[in-house]
Amino acid sequence: MRTLNLCIDIDGTVTDPYYWLARANEYFNTNAKPQNVCSYEFAEALGVTQEDYDIFYNSCAHAIHAEAKIRLDAKYVIAYLAKNHNIHYVTARDKKYTDITSAWLNKHNLPIRSLTLTGNADKRQNAKELNCDIFIEDSLDNALQLSGAGYEVLLIDCTYNKSLLPKNVTRVNSWYKIAMIAAKRAYDTNFKLKTA
């Protein structure tokens, strides 16, 4: 069995994908539900401008990230994967949220080899630096970008990432499915490690 470098997004992947919605509804006096979130442009689901959404996020980000709920089975599966593989969290969060992000990971006792806050959505360079074997994501745009660079991506299912997917992006419905795919790759002698 080989040791894999697993790159894992945080928001919507390790966290519940809609954890921010209750606070956003309260802030904007709206009643958006998860099924209304049909794209990664969250302002659309709330019926507000992107500028207003950005003001909301910038004023509430620390609270939003601190109170985030963990996705079902993520803690158990990541702990299991960490026994044999390297866990690298790669999030588009701005670097100013490093402390709150680290505190949240520690609060949930999530194993960690490294944590990278990119401050933007382009994670290809991070994947290269971490010698990523599998990238676990919830953002369709990120998944397509990473797969276009040759990385295998597991896209965890959400209402906002529905689309036809290229060959090296696999839609998964649970963290258990992620564990099964990682195990298969670890034992597959024909599995090519990414060297882009």
Q: What are 24-79's pLDDT values in tens digits?
A: 999 999 999 999 999 889 999 999 999 999 999 999 999 999 999 999 999 999 99
Q: Which residues pair with 7 in a beta bridge?
A: 88, 135
The answer on 40 and 26 residing in a single domain is: yes
d(CA 8, CA 112): 10
Which residue shows structure tokens 């290269």? Answer: 128
Asked if residue 42 is part of any domain, the answer here is yes
The answer on 95 and 171 residing in a single domain is: yes
Q: At 80, which CATH number?
A: 3.40.50.1000
Higher pLDDT, 188 or 194: 188
The answer on 126 and 34 residing in a single domain is: no
Instruction: Give the closest residue to 11 by CA, choosing from 121, 85, 113, 106.
Output: 121
| Of the residues 30, 45, 66, the one at which a domain ends | 66
Mean pLDDT of 120-126: 95
Specify whether the CB–CB gap between 152 and 186 falls below 8 A.
no
Asked if residue 192 is part of any domain, the answer here is no
In the sheet where 169-172 sits, what is the strand order? 114-117, 86-91, 5-8, 134-137, 152-156, 169-172
Domain containing 41 equals: 21-66
d(CA 51, CA 36): 19
The whole-number pLDDT of residue 40 equals 87
- 117 pLDDT exceeds 50? yes
Q: How many domains does the chain have?
A: 2
Asked if residue 138 is part of any domain, the answer here is yes
